[in-house]
């Protein structure tokens, strides 16, 4: 940690750097944990299976791009004095997820979503706005988002080809991590959003996942 506070210009540069590294083709981020897929043998997939896996992992990658933006926006605006260390740990785990998804998409011979800059900007704005309202709302938004992500990951475990053990291993570890992030945010005092807000979030995430699946 620096021994001096960052100026607004410093923060702007740090966030711009983080956004560019998140969105760059071939992730420029460094992960702390190796991919769970690392020691698993690649199984021959049919062309249809490969395309299906790539599309699902592209959706997951977009989710991780949004997580980066959400945590970045939140770190700028929210105070979170009691849980800052835990939030930073969660944000680092999101970098692991981002890199693992990127690696898997590369192995499957596909590309990340072309719409990621759009989702990054939107998620950053939401994260910062929630943080400006209050820490309780900010943490509540993290919890609700992580819940959404867990649902997608559970669906993906049903949809991924059984033979694609590498993608499945990545998704299983992500599911475990995201569930922990949701619990942490709620335990830290996050607001449990009412059902209409959660339904709206489900709708927005449906648009995002459908678009990322295709492009
Ligand atoms: Fe994640
Ligand atoms: Fe997460």
Q: Which ligand is nearest to the CA of 180?
A: 2
Range among 41-45, 62-66, 169-173 rated most confident? 169-173
Output 30 or 33, whichever has higher pLDDT: 33
10: which residues sit within 8 A by CB, 6+ positions away? none
> 67-79, pLDDT tens digit by residue?
888 888 888 877 7
- Helical segments of the chain, H only: 8-23, 47-77, 84-107, 116-133, 135-159, 165-187, 195-214
Residue 106: which pLDDT band, with cuts at 50, 70 and 90? very high
pLDDT of residue 1: 47
Ligand 2 centroid vs 94 CA: distance in angstroms? 6
pLDDT of residue 5: 67
Residue 204: which pLDDT band, with cuts at 50, 70 and 90? confident
**Interior/surface letters 7-22, b for 16+ CB within 10 angstroms, e for the rest:** eeeeeeeebeebbeeb
Ligand 2 centroid vs 44 CA: distance in angstroms? 30
Ligand 2 centroid vs 10 CA: distance in angstroms? 26
46: which residues sit within 8 A by CB, 6+ positions away? none
Ion ligand 2 residues within 5 Å by Cβ: 146, 178, 181
- Take residue 149 and report the two structure tokens written for it: 């992500």
pTM over 0.85: yes
Ligand 2 centroid vs 98 CA: distance in angstroms? 10
pLDDT of residue 75: 80
198: which residues sit within 8 A by CB, 6+ positions away? 144, 147
Ligand 2 centroid vs 9 CA: distance in angstroms? 28
Residue 131: which pLDDT band, with cuts at 50, 70 and 90? confident
Query: Which residue has tokens 């949809």?
Result: 159
Do 60 and 153 touch, CB atoms closer than 8 A? yes
Give the count of beta carbons closer than 10 Å to the beta carbon of residue 191: 20
Ligand 2 centroid vs 46 CA: distance in angstroms? 31
Ligand 1 centroid vs 178 CA: distance in angstroms? 6
> 115-126, pLDDT tens digit by residue?
999 999 999 998
pLDDT of residue 53: 97
Ion ligand 1 residues within 5 Å by Cβ: 64, 67, 94, 97
C-alpha–C-alpha distance, residues 90 and 8, integer Å: 24
C-alpha–C-alpha distance, residues 199 and 151, integer Å: 13
Q: Which ligand is nearest to the CA of 179?
A: 2
Ligand 1 centroid vs 181 CA: distance in angstroms? 9
Do 121 and 69 touch, CB atoms closer than 8 A? yes
List the domains of the chain with CATH numbers.
8-13+47-214 (1.20.1260.10)
């Amino acid at each position: 940690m620096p021994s001096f506070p960052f100026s607004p210009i410093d923060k702007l540069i740090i966030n711009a750097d983080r956004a560019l590294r998140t969105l760059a083709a071939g992730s420029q981020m460094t992960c702390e944990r190796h991919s769970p897929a690392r020691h698993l043998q690649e199984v021959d997939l049919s062309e249809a299976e490969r395309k299906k896996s790539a599309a699902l992992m592209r959706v997951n990658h977009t989710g991780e791009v949004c997580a980066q933006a959400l945590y970045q926006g939140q770190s700028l605006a929210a105070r979170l004095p009691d849980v800052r260390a835990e939030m930073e740990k969660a944000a680092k785990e999101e970098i692991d997820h981002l890199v693992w998804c990127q690696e898997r998409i590369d192995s499957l011979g596909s590309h990340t979503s072309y719409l990621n800059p759009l989702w990054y900007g939107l998620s950053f704005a939401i994260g910062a706005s929630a943080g400006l309202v209050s820490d309780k709302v900010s943490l509540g938004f993290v919890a609700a988002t992580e819940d959404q992500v867990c649902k997608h990951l559970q669906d993906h475990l049903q949809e991924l080809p059984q033979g694609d053990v590498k993608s499945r291993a990545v998704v299983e570890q992500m599911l475990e991590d995201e569930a922990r992030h949701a619990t942490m945010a709620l335990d830290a005092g996050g607001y449990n959003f009412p059902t209409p807000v959660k339904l709206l979030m489900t709708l927005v995430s449906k648009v995002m996942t459908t678009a990322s699946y295709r492009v």
